[in-house]
Amino acid sequence: MAIWDQLTSEEIGARVRAGMDMAVLPIGATEQHGPHLATGTDTISADWVARRAADRHGILVLPAIPYGCSLGHTDTWPGTLSLSPMTLTTVVLEVARWALKSGIRRLLFFSGHATNGPSLGSAVLQLRHEAPHARFRQIGIWEISPRVLDLYTRDGADVHANRGETSLLLHAAPEMVRMEKAFDVPDVTPGCIWSYDMTRTTPTGVVGRPTEATSDDGAAMADALITDLAAMLEAALREDWPVVPSGPEARS
């Protein structure tokens, strides 16, 4: 695996000079995941999948950022360590700027936590302005493909520590799961107009049906996640810059 912090400066430079100027930055979170999942679930999930998908094409993987924007979990349940949206944007920007100094020209922000999205989107907008010679994209782990989204939302649309997250961890990091403490909580948000923090939608910090999770289900999820992310990365490696129209046809 081409793991950034396991390579030397010389090795990273050689890869970039050889044309491997693409990297993936996993961004997770440290937050409560109910009584049955460890607080590092989002970080481990994103990093574990990113490493295995990127390895299929020799793509560099930067050290995962273990803190995200988790303000919606409040301080009701112990364990959450959150950055503000602005701070997360700043952290991602600074990591990306230094990656650019090492020659990276294609950078994918790969998030394991939903509410990291606005911060990562802001970072992409800023970086596109600062570094027009480079390309950037942000995506959540559940957004890799339609079948992956279906796997994550089998027990609801607004889910947390649910069947999908629990199954993946049972396969990838079973030491982080306490299945004897799993408890199902239905998603109560369908039809809601407003956005609510976790205290308004669950008594346990969980939304979904984690009791249905199994290691075998996690293995099937892992296969879909890694295969579909690897396919996206391969397409990203092949993608050339868009051809901008010129001449009279561009004005018609």
- Residues 86, 6: Cα–Cα separation, whole Å: 29
- Residues 130, 92: Cα–Cα separation, whole Å: 14
pLDDT in tens, the chain (252 residues): 899 999 999 999 999 999 999 999 999 999 999 999 999 999 999 999 999 999 999 999 999 999 999 999 999 999 999 999 999 999 999 999 999 999 999 999 999 999 999 999 999 999 999 999 999 999 999 999 999 999 999 999 988 999 999 999 999 999 999 999 999 999 999 999 999 999 999 999 999 999 999 999 999 999 999 999 999 999 999 999 999 888 666 665
Q: How far is CA 172 from CA 1, 149, 155, 206, in A?
A: 17, 19, 21, 20
Per-residue model confidence (pLDDT) at position 244: 87
Task: Quote the distance between the C-alpha of residue 119 and its chain's center.
Answer: 12
Q: Is 189 helix (H, G, I), strand (E, B) or coil?
A: coil
Residue corresponding to tokens 């109560």: 188
Domain coordinates in residue numbering, the chain: 4-239
Residue 35 buriedness (CB in 10 A; 0-12 / 13-18 / 19+):
middle
Per-residue model confidence (pLDDT) at position 72: 93
E strands present in the chain: 22-27, 60-61, 106-111, 135-140
Per-residue model confidence (pLDDT) at position 187: 93
- Residues 71, 115: Cα–Cα separation, whole Å: 9
Name the amino acid, one letter, at 155: D
For the chain, give the number of residues: 252
Q: CATH assignment of 4-239, given 1.10.150.120, 3.90.550.10, 3.30.70.1380, 3.40.50.10310? A: 3.40.50.10310
Q: DSSP per residue over 17-36, as a string?
A: HTT--EEEEEE--B--BTBT
Report yes or no: 104 and 62 within 8 Å, Cβ to Cβ. Answer: no
